[in-house]
Structure 1
Amino acid sequence: MVLRVVPSVMYSTVQAAIDDSSSGDSLKILAGTFDGFEVTVGKDNLKIFGCGIGRTIIAGASAQGSNDGVVVNANRTILQGFTVQGFSNIGIFVPSNNNVMKQIESTLNSDEGILIIGENNLISNCKTSFNNSGIEINDENNCVISCVSTQNDFFGYSFQDVQCKLLFSLAKNNRSIGLDLDDDFNTIFQNKFLGNGCGIKIDDENNNVIGNIVCNNIDSGILLDNNADFNVVDSNIVKNNGNDVSGGSGIFVDSSTENNPVRFNKLRNNTPFDIEIEGLVTDNIYNGNKCENSNFPGICT
């Protein structure tokens, strides 16, 4: 295993150091601004470390063969400690498996800040901001923990596949949706969704949305939409969501949904209702919610 330093006499670019590396090697990128790079197929187990967010900056020319900033085509790569910014497509694109991204910032990119289409990846302590969208997950068994996604044009986070986790993270001031949850069996636990268009939008089944703080979103705090069945919405704090023009409510339950336990949530000052039910009250389960008003009697305690 070899440590390669960029820039150095041997390597003026990150790509040159990667091309000369073997599986298990490490790269140290010093402070400065560098072109994008691709971790190519067969270069598994590389460790690529910068000097920290805002100190090591990946900008300028895109990764080879793409318009993205960083492309990870190898498995078990570790990326840590740098900023990726200003690319005409995706900031960080990961179509591979079992990778770790830690203390990475992806900002000012024209598409997603981070796009994952591989399995079993970990994104920890990362930040996405001022992208079209923040972090999008399009494969199973990925985990996002202790991340921040702010001021993106569309969503902060989007889960489009199963058995993923969003834990202890923040979605704030994203223009459309804090979290777009569009597949099954995901866990959303102890996050904050503040000041987005919609806080959490649930479009599929068997998800657990538990212990989150959902406040000051322009539209619904939590939206159960589009045949979203068998989801558990439990022990969330939902305040100051919705508006007088388009409505929204704290928790809005679409008429197409069934068998969702909505229980033990604490709701206050949502407009027009803390809990708004579009369909039949008997289609879902409401138990132990502490709130001020609903459009059906007996929902609030």
Structure 2
Amino acid sequence: MVLRIVPTDEPTVQDAIDASSPGDSIKILAGTFDGFEVDVENLKIFGCGIDRTIIAGAPAQGSNDGVVVSANRTTLQGFTVQGFADDGTFISSNTNLIKEIETKLNSGDGIFNVGENNLFIKCKTSLNSDGFDSNGTNNCIINCESSQNSNDGYSISDERSKLLFNLAKNNTSDGLDLDEPFTTILQNKFLGNNCGIQIDDDNHNIIGNSVCDNFESGILLDNNADFNAVDSNIVKNNGNDVTGGSGIFVDSSAEDNTIRFNKARNNFEFDIEAIPPADTANTFDGNQCGNSDPPGLCT
């Protein structure tokens, strides 16, 4: 195993990758460097920290993305990726660790993932299109922040993935858009987005989240959302008198969902709203709220 330091041992990160073998490590010193593609498996690439090591300028070879990860078992940690014409970081491989990476001011998504079994920890995305756009399987996003993106904070089309302890704040569209089944959304914060959480598919567990101050609905279950559990969330101060919305809004064709033990207060126009026949096609139990439409959905 060899440690290569950029720019001391190799002038660019791509030169260091091209000289590496599986199991090697690359240290990027403070400064600004071009983009790169990780196409050697099991490399560990470390910067000196967010806003100290900056990936900007020329994109990864053969793309308009800043960083491309096409090899499995890659570790990326401790740098900023900014200002690229497409995605900040594009990941097509599996079993990678992406930790303490910031992506901002990219014309595409901050982090676009189509791989499987990838772990994202303490990453930050801002001022991109989607902050995180994930379309793989069994991925996990923990303790990340996604703010002020022009579309969604987190756009998740993964199956069997997990979002734990994350923040989505002041994104132009949804804080979180869920579009494939079997995800777990646990103890996240969705604050000041257009819609807090939009559920477009089945069999999600939405548990223990804080969903507050979103412009339209806090939690929206649309017409394709069935067999979801919306449980023990705090839903406050969502909706407005211009475009409407409610704290928890259940569209007419959503069915077999369980909405229970949520605390919903000070939402406009209702704390819980279910368009018939959704009021009888779903289970509402133990919700602490001030008002509902139709009446009777609160305890």
Q: TM-score range by the shorter chain?
A: over 0.9
Question: What are the superposed Cα offsets for residues 173-200 of structure 1, whole Å, 9 maximum, x if unpaired?
Answer: 0001000000100000000000000000
For 2:2, give the aligned amino acid: V
In the alignment, does 2:6 pair up with 1:6?
Answer: yes
Distance 2:125 2:11 in 1: 27
Once the 2 structures are TM-superposed, how far is the Cα of residue 239 of structure 1 from its aligned partner? 0.1
Match of 1:16 in 2: 15
Paired position in structure 2 for 1:232:
229
What SS does the aligned partner of 1:12 have?
A: coil
Q: Distance in 2 between matches of 1:206 and 1:24?
A: 39
Q: Which residue, 103, 115, 119 being the options, matches 1:118? A: 115
SS in structure 1 at match of 2:153: strand
Deviation at residue 158 of structure 1 after TM alignment: 1.0
Question: Once the two structures are superposed, what CA deviation does each residue of 1:154-178 show, in whole Å capped at 9, x if it has no partner?
Answer: 0000111200100000000000100
Q: 1:187 aligns with which of 184, 187, 190?
A: 184
Alignment check: 8 A CA contact 1:252 1:277 kept: yes
2-structure distance, mates of 1:138, 1:3: 33
The count of corresponding residues between Structure 1 and Structure 2 is 298
1:282 counterpart SS class: helix
Asked if residue 162 in structure 1 is aligned to residue 159 in structure 2, the reply is yes
Question: In 2, Cα distance between the equivalents of 1:133 and 1:234?
Answer: 26
Distance 2:20 2:67 in 1: 17
Distance 2:257 2:224 in 1: 10
- Give the structure 1 partner of residue 31 of structure 2: 32
1:279 CA displacement = 2.1
Task: Confirm whether residue 288 of structure 1 aligns to residue 251 of structure 2.
Answer: no
Q: Secondary structure at the match of 1:33?
A: strand
What are the Cα deviations for residues 204-237 of structure 1, in whole angstroms up to 9, with x where unaligned?
Answer: 0000000000000000000000320000000000
Alignment of 1:38-53 (within 5 A): 38-40=37-39, 43-53=40-50
Identity of aligned residues (%): 68
Spell out, residue by residue over 1:121-148, the C-alpha distance to the aligned partner (whole angstroms, 9 max, x if none): 0000000000011001101100000000
- 2: CA distance, partners of 1:287 / 1:194: 25
Task: Give the 5 Å matches for 1:267-282.
Answer: 267-280=264-277, 281-282=279-280
Whole-Å separation in 1 of the counterparts to 2:290 and 2:81: 45
What's the offset of the Cα at 1:285? 0.2
1:265 positional shift: 0.1
